[in-house]
Amino acid sequence: MTTVRARAAHPPGLYVLFFTELWERYSFYSMVSILVLYMNESLRFDSARAGSVYGWYTAGVYFLPLFGGLIADRWLGFSRSILIGGTLMMLGHLVLGVEQMAFFYGGLVLLACGTGLLKPNISTMVGNLYRERPELRDQAFNIFYMGINIGSFMAPIGVSYVRARYGWGPAFMSAAIAMFISLVIFATFRHHVASANVRGDDAASAADDVPASDVRDRLITLMIVFAISFVFWSAWYQEFFTFTLWARDNTATTIPPERFSSFEALAVIVLSPTAAWLWAVLNRQGREPSTPTKMLMGIGFLVIAFGALAYAAMTGGDSGRVSVIWLIGANVLLAVGEVALSPMGMSLVNRLAPARWRGMMMGGWFASLAAGGKMSGYVGGYWDSVPHSRFFGATAAVLAVGGIVLSMTMPRIKRTIRGAEMRRSPVGH
């Protein structure tokens, strides 16, 4: 009984990474929740220019992890990469707060580079904690994901208060304080994650006995997963762009527009432990949906969210204001989709990536977010050019096509997962 309980318990390193990521995400979402408003209201960018900057920044934030994962795999290791990346992010927030155009772009570059080093490697370390207990990995990523969303829930509330009282510059700089807290937590308690700080070269022997055909199948499957992720995030990232403009201009409310993203994050906080509990119960009953099925469910909820907003726009939101319930409901549906797809995607990448490329493949996951973020900025640039109902309806249609593609590729993904798990089975799980 003691052994069973010990195996069911999560290691303390998970909670070190949980709080490190919580405060890092607080800093990130503090900035991103006011970024479009700052460009539109202070810098006087129109929606097309704001969309271009937003898209390129989001692409940089999630594409550079591809290189950050490779750097950690080959040279720095995961722990040092996280510390260096966090420091760059803290500096980026401070530079952004200067409120001059040259500093504006310089701050965004520092933030993107810092995130590139930090983001993939902290996620990889979560997975590495569960090498000997892969059955707990999905639960661990759900718990970790809850920490991400606690930070993203608090951020818009805190930064909107600072912005209202002190202005744009102090609001951006307040994110640096959160990043400093994140660095202190990781540096102080990183001995708890020492076992997860394994570079690709050190783990290479674990991949040497994997046939080349097996490696090829895994990489092809991961490319399919990345394509699905791209479709999902190209829609999801409208939350910080067109959703913010919709909140300001087309929603009957006195709530500051940047605070609406807190509803999505709060829903994720509530739903993450619920999802972890539900998957555990279904797993014991032998009825837990496969990881790709969960991802398909995530896309389905986004289709419903954008379809609902398209209906709201047709009934008054194209040119006037509609009830706040539509936007809150859409944010909750985005949260359900995110819980179903994102932590499961990270877990799947960690499960399938060959050991020597694990950091780089986690970077590939974030590169799919980068492509989705860039596309969201490009598409959002048409916000002022087409009726809102058409904008939301087209997004829902593209998501539906992505869901169909996923359903067609699920047999291949499931087959690859089974093959990877069969290779692990002799270890004694």
Q: Which of 74-88, 103-117, 141-155, 197-211 has the lowest mean pLDDT?
A: 197-211
What confidence score (pLDDT) does residue 251 get? 93
Per-residue pLDDT, 320: 87
Higher pLDDT, 222 or 392: 392
pLDDT digits (tens, 9 = 90+) for 15-33: 999 999 999 999 999 998 8
Does the pLDDT of residue 188 top 90, yes or no?
A: yes
**pLDDT band with cut points at 50, 70 and 90 for residue 69:** confident
pLDDT bracket for residue 105 (50, 70, 90)? very high
Whole-model pTM? 0.78
- What lies within 8 Å, CB to CB, of 33 at 6+ separation is 155, 156, 159, 160, 240, 244, 258, 259, 261
pLDDT at 47: 82
Confidence of residue 199 (pLDDT cuts 50, 70, 90): low
DSSP assignment letter at 210:
S
Q: Is residue 309 predicted with pLDDT exceeding 60?
A: yes
Q: Percentage of residues in the chain with pLDDT exceeding 90?
A: 38
Q: What pLDDT was estimated at residue 424?
A: 57
Confidence band, pLDDT 50/70/90 cuts, at residue 82: very high
**pLDDT given at position 387:** 93
Q: Taking residues 118-123, report their average pLDDT.
A: 85
> In the chain, what are the domain boundaries?
14-199+210-424
Could you tell me if 53 and 373 are in contact, meaning their C-beta atoms sit under 8 angstroms apart? no
Contacts of 202 (CB under 8 A, 6+ apart): none
Helix (H, G, I), strand (E, B) or coil at 98: coil
pLDDT of residue 209: 53
Distance separating alpha carbons of residues 404 and 231, to the nearest angstrom:
12
Nearest to 276 by CA among 226, 330, 359, 347: 347
How would CATH label the architecture of 14-199+210-424?
Up-down Bundle (1.20)
List of residues 6+ apart from 403 with CB closer than 8 A: 296, 299, 300, 303
| pLDDT of 204 over the 70 cut | no
Per-residue confidence at 419, pLDDT binned at 50, 70, 90?
Answer: confident
Highest mean pLDDT among 36-50, 132-146, 335-349: 36-50
**What average pLDDT does this structure show over 365-377?**
88
Mean pLDDT of the chain: 85
Specify whether the CB–CB gap between 335 and 268 falls below 8 A.
Answer: yes
Residue 150 corresponds to which tokens in the numbers above? Answer: 């606690």
Neighbours of 424 (CB within 10 A): 12
Residue 84 has pLDDT above 50, yes or no: yes
Report yes or no: 115 and 86 within 8 Å, Cβ to Cβ.
no
pLDDT score of 337 more than 70: yes
Res. 3 pLDDT band, cuts 50 70 90: very low
> What would the pLDDT profile of 318-333 be if each residue is shown by its tens digit?
888 999 999 999 999 9
